[in-house]
Structure 1
Amino acid sequence: MLIPFVAIIIGFLLLVYSADKFVEGAAVSAKYAGLPPLLIGMVIVGFGTSAPEMVVSAMAAFDGNPELAIGNGLGSNIVNISLILGLTAMLVPLSVHSNIVKKELPLLVLIVLLSGLLFWDGEFSQVDAIVLLAGFFLSIGWSVLSAYRSKGDTLESEFATELSGPLMPLNKALFWLIAGLVVLIISSRILVWGAVEIAHSLGVSDLIIGLTIVALGTSLPELAASIIAARKGEHDIAVGNIVGSNMFNILAVIGISGVIEPVQMLSSEVMSRDWPVMLLLTVALLLMAFGRNGQGRINRLEGGALLSAYFAYNGYLIYTVVAN
Structure 2
Amino acid sequence: MLLPIAALLAGLLMLAWSGEQFVQGARALARHGRMPPLLVGLVVVGFGHSVPELAVAIWSAWLERPGLALGNAWGAHIVNIGLILAVTALLAPVRLRSQVLRREAPMLLAATALTAVLVADSTLSRADAFVLLAAMGALLVWTVRQPRRHADDALAREIAADDAPAPTRSLGAALLQSLVAAAVLAGGSALLVWGTAAAAWLLGISDLAMGLSVIALGCALPELAACVAAARQGDDDVVLGTVLGAALFNLLAVVGLTAAIAPADIEPQALTRDLPVLAGMTLALFVLARRRGEGLLRRPEALTLLFAYGAYLAWLLATLVPGGGT
Sort the TM-score into its range (normalised by shorter chain): over 0.9
* Residue 207 (structure 1) aligns with: 208
Q: Considering only aligned residues, what root-mean-square deviation do their CA atoms show, in Å? A: 1.3
Letter matched to residue 253 of structure 1: V
* Residue 298 (structure 1) aligns with: 297
Native 8 Å contact 1:39 1:148 kept in 2 = no
Gaps of 5+ in 1: none
* Residue 222 (structure 1) aligns with: 223
CA distance in 2, matches of 1:56, 1:127: 22
SS at match of 1:50: helix
In the TM superposition, what is the alpha-carbon distance from 1:306 to its structure 2 partner?
1.3
CA distance in 1, matches of 2:266, 2:212: 14
* Residue 58 (structure 1) aligns with: 58
CA distance in 1, matches of 2:82, 2:165: 32
CA distance in 1, matches of 2:200, 2:147: 42
Letter matched to residue 87 of structure 1: V
CA distance in 1, matches of 2:293, 2:45: 27
CA distance in 1, matches of 2:165, 2:302: 31
* Residue 70 (structure 1) aligns with: 70
SS at match of 2:110: helix
User: What are the within-5 Å matches in structure 2 for residues 183-262 of structure 1?
Assistant: 183-262=184-263
Letter matched to residue 239 of structure 2: A
In the TM superposition, what is the alpha-carbon distance from 1:181 to its structure 2 partner?
1.1
* Residue 269 (structure 1) aligns with: 269
Native 8 Å contact 1:73 1:250 kept in 2 = yes
> Bigger CA drift: 182-191 or 313-322?
313-322
CA distance in 2, matches of 1:294, 1:115: 30
Native 8 Å contact 1:97 1:296 kept in 2 = no
In the TM superposition, what is the alpha-carbon distance from 1:294 to its structure 2 partner?
4.3
> Bigger CA drift: 41-50 or 16-25?
41-50
CA distance in 2, matches of 1:41, 1:180: 19
SS at match of 1:297: strand
Q: Which deviations, in whole Å up to 9, do the C-alpha atoms of 1:152-204 show, x marking residues without a partner?
A: 00101111121234633132222111111111111000011111111101100
Q: Does 1:47 align with 2:47?
A: yes
Residues 148 and 166 of structure 1: is their aligned pair in 2 closer, same or farther, counting only changes over 3 Å? Answer: closer
User: What are the within-5 Å matches in structure 2 for residues 140-155 of structure 1?
Assistant: 140-155=140-155
CA distance in 2, matches of 1:216, 1:148: 36
CA distance in 2, matches of 1:269, 1:215: 17
CA distance in 1, matches of 2:64, 2:229: 37
Q: Structure 1 length normalisation: TM-score?
A: 0.96
CA distance in 2, matches of 1:276, 1:41: 32
CA distance in 2, matches of 1:186, 1:122: 31
Q: Which deviations, in whole Å up to 9, do the C-alpha atoms of 1:228-255 show, x marking residues without a partner?
A: 1111110000111110111000111000
Question: Identity of paired residues, percent?
Answer: 40
Native 8 Å contact 1:158 1:237 kept in 2 = yes
CA distance in 1, matches of 2:301, 2:99: 21
- Structure 1 stretches of 4+ moved >4 Å: none
CA distance in 1, matches of 2:240, 2:44: 16
User: What are the within-5 Å matches in structure 2 for residues 60-209 of structure 1?
Assistant: 60-165=60-165, 167-169=167-169, 170-209=171-210
Native 8 Å contact 2:154 2:237 kept in 1 = yes
* Residue 11 (structure 2) aligns with: 11
CA distance in 1, matches of 2:319, 2:178: 41
Native 8 Å contact 2:61 2:261 kept in 1 = yes
Letter matched to residue 182 of structure 1: A
Native 8 Å contact 2:41 2:159 kept in 1 = yes
In the TM superposition, what is the alpha-carbon distance from 1:4 to its structure 2 partner?
0.9
CA distance in 2, matches of 1:281, 1:211: 15
Native 8 Å contact 2:74 2:212 kept in 1 = yes
CA distance in 2, matches of 1:179, 1:147: 30
* Residue 311 (structure 2) aligns with: 312
Q: Which deviations, in whole Å up to 9, do the C-alpha atoms of 1:45-93 show, x marking residues without a partner?
A: 4332111001101100111100111111100000000010010000121
Q: Which deviations, in whole Å up to 9, do the C-alpha atoms of 1:28-61 show, x marking residues without a partner?
A: 2112222222211222443321110011011001
Q: Structure 2 length normalisation: TM-score?
A: 0.96
In the TM superposition, what is the alpha-carbon distance from 1:300 to its structure 2 partner?
1.1
* Residue 320 (structure 2) aligns with: 321
* Residue 285 (structure 1) aligns with: 285
Q: Which deviations, in whole Å up to 9, do the C-alpha atoms of 1:277-304 show, x marking residues without a partner?
A: 111111111111222x343421111111
CA distance in 2, matches of 1:36, 1:302: 36
Letter matched to residue 186 of structure 1: G
CA distance in 1, matches of 2:146, 2:249: 16
CA distance in 1, matches of 2:240, 2:67: 28
